[in-house]
Chains A and B, each alone.
Chain A
Amino acid sequence: MRVEKHPVLGDRKVGRMVTISVDGAEIEAVEGEPIAAALLAQGMIVMRKTPRFGEPRGVFCGIGRCTDCAMTVDGVPNVRTCVTPVKAGMVITSNLKGGGE
C-alpha cells in the first residue's frame, strides 16, 4: 500500500508511472523506486523460494546486504530488488518453484 498522505512529509509526489512485468503479471511502478518497493506496494511480499527447501523469502534488510529479496530481472539472476531501481518494461521473475538459479 502506498502512503499517500503524511503528517510530516506531506502528500506523496507521484513520479512517472511505468509498467513492469512480475511473473507474467503487469504491475504499475514508480520509475526509479526500488523494485522491492513496487512489489510491496502491490502487497507482493514473497520474492523467492530457497533452492533446497523451497522456503519463501521476502525483503529483510532493505539495504542490499542480506540478499533475501533477490529475483531474476531481465534475465539476470540474483538481483537484489531492494537496491535496484525500476525501469519501464522490466521483466521480473521470482523463482517461486525453488531450485538453484
Chain B
Amino acid sequence: MATGQTFDIVVVGAGPAGLAAAIEAAKRGARTLVVDENNKPGGQLFKQIHKFFGSHEHRAGVRGYDIGRQLLDEAAKCGVEVWLDAVVHGLFNQRLAVLREGRQVTVEAGRIILATGASENAVAFPGSTLPGVMGAGAIQTMINVHRVLPGNRFVMLGSGNVGLIVCYQLMQAGAEVLAVVEAMPSIGGYGVHAAKIRRAGVPILVGTTISRVVGQGKVESVVLATLGPDGKIDPQSERTLAADTVGLAVGLTPLTELAWMAGCEFFFSPKLGGHLPLHDDNMLTSLPYLYVAGDITGVEEASTAMEEGRLAGIAAAESLGLLAAAAAAADKAAVRQRIDVLRSGPFGEGRRLAKAEILQQQALRSRQGGQSWKA
C-alpha cells in the first residue's frame, strides 16, 4: 500500500456538488483533492443536454454539459487535484482508503466533503428484470454521452422531470416514444417539459401503471393497466404496447454508504429520497470533519447541488482557519440566498420544507448533546 498523502480537503465525487465545493475551497487556499470512481469527471452533467432553468446566476439557458465544462476549467485554474478511476472504499475518521487505477492508496484529510450523488430506483413488476428494462438515466447516458440508442420503441414509467426530459431526448436521438405512464393522478414534472413531448404526440397516461412486461429473453411488449380508486390494477383495463425498451424514472436514492461507514447521524426523509446524513446550515454532519453536499443530502437537482457544494467548500475552508469569520459569513449568506430562490415556487416548496425539517432535527439533536455538533 502506498504511503498516505495529505490534503486540507478531500472531496468524494466529481459531479456538480463536488466540483463546486472543491473550487470554493481551493480559491480560499485549501489544498484540495477530488476523487471520483468514474473515468470522466462531471457526474451527470455531461448527459444533460437541455438548458437549465432559473436565474442568470444559476446559468439559466446554459446546457448541462457546458456547465460541466465550465466547472472543470475553473477547478483546473484553482489548482484542484482530480483523481479519476479512483474508488473511495473505506473511511476511517480522517483517513480515506482509495483504490486508484487498481492500486491501493491512503489519503489523510483535514476535512472531507461527501458529494457522492444518488442512484436510480428500480420498481418490481412481472418482467422487470428482462433485458430492455433500464433506468431512465442509463438511457440518457447511452444516447447523449455514448451516442447509442439502446432500443427503438420506448415506454417511460414515471412523469417526473427525469422521465419527461429523457423522453424528449429520446425523440431528439431518433427513437419513438409510445407513452409515458404515471401512477399518480397528475403529471409529476414541470408543465414545460410535459408540453414539449405532448406537442410531439406522446401521450402521458396518468392513473396508469405497467402491469407486466412480456417477452422471450428480452422486452417484446408492455401491458398497461389503469389503477382503480383503491390503487389496484383494474384487469379489465389492460392493453398492450409493442415496445422494445422500458425506461424507469421512479426516483433516486442518495448514495450514503460512506456516510454510514463514517458513523454520522442520519435522518429519514421520504420526500428527499430516504435515509440521509443530518447536517447543519454549513453542510456539516454530526462529525466535526465531515461535510456533505448535493444529492447525498436529499435528491434535488444540479443547480442546488452546486450551491450546496459551494456552501460546504466555504464552510470547510473556514473551519480550517483559511478565512475570517466575517468574510465567510458574507460568502455563505450569498449562497444561502441563492439556494432559497431555487427552493421557492410551487415545485420548490416541498423540498424547502423537507430541508427545513433536516435543520430542525439537527438543532434538536444538537441541543440534546448526543453528538459533537460544531457551534
Write the residues of chain A forming the contact surface with B, with a CB cutoff of 8 angstroms: 1-9, 12, 33-34, 37, 40-41, 45-47, 55-66, 68, 82-83, 85
Contacts and interface: CB of A to CB of B under 8 A. Distances in A.
B42 interface: no
Contacts of B130: 56, 58
Contacts, number: 93
Contact of B129 (A57, A65, A82): A57
A69 B250 CA distance: 21
8 contacts: A1-B149, A2-B147, A33-B148, A40-B149, A41-B148, A45-B218, A60-B134, A60-B135
Interface residues of B, number: 34
B135 A61 contact: yes
B218 A46 contact: yes
**Interface class of chain B by DSSP:** loop
A30 to B, nearest CB: 8
Given A33-B148, A63-B119, 10 more contacts: A6-B172, A9-B49, A12-B147, A40-B148, A41-B148, A45-B151, A59-B142, A61-B137, A62-B141, A63-B141
Cβ-closest 3 pairs across A and B: A58-B131, A62-B138, A37-B146
Contacts of A8: 49, 63, 172
A40 B142 contact: yes
> Which of B39, B130, B138, B148 is packed against the most chain A CB atoms within 10 Å?
B148
A44 B309 CA distance: 39
A59 B174 CA distance: 20
Given A8-B49, A45-B131, A45-B150, A62 B37 contact: no
B39 A85 contact: yes
A64 B119 CA distance: 10
A62 B173 contact: no
Interface string B131-169: 111110111011110111111100000000000000000
Given A37-B142, A56-B218, A3 B135 contact: no
A47 B138 CA distance: 15
Interface of B: 37-39, 49, 63, 119-120, 122, 129-135, 137-139, 141-144, 146-152, 172-174, 217-218
Contacts of A47: 131
Given A2-B147, A60-B133, A82 B138 contact: yes
Contacts of A82: 138
Nearest to B63: A8
Contacts of B120: 61
A45 B132 contact: yes
B134 A1 contact: no
B173 A3 contact: yes
A58 B215 CA distance: 14
A58 B137 CA distance: 15
A39 to B, nearest CB: 9
Nearest to B146: A37
A44 to B, nearest CB: 9
Contacts of B217: 46, 56
> Which of A8, A12, A65, A68 is packed against the most chain B CB atoms within 10 Å?
A8
Contacts of A64: 37-38
B199 to A, nearest CB: 15
Contacts of B122: 60, 66
A46 B134 contact: no
A3 B149 contact: yes
Nearest to A14: B147
A37 to B, nearest CB: 4
A55 B126 CA distance: 13
Contacts of B152: 1
B155 to A, nearest CB: 16
Contacts of B144: 9
Contact of A40 (B39, B135, B150): B150
Contacts of B131: 45-47, 56-59
A45 B134 CA distance: 11
Contacts of A58: 130-132, 134, 218
Given A40-B142, A55-B129, A56-B130, A1 B218 contact: no
Contacts of B148: 1-3, 33, 37, 40-41
A64 B146 CA distance: 15
A6 B150 CA distance: 16
A75 to B, nearest CB: 16
Nearest to B173: A3
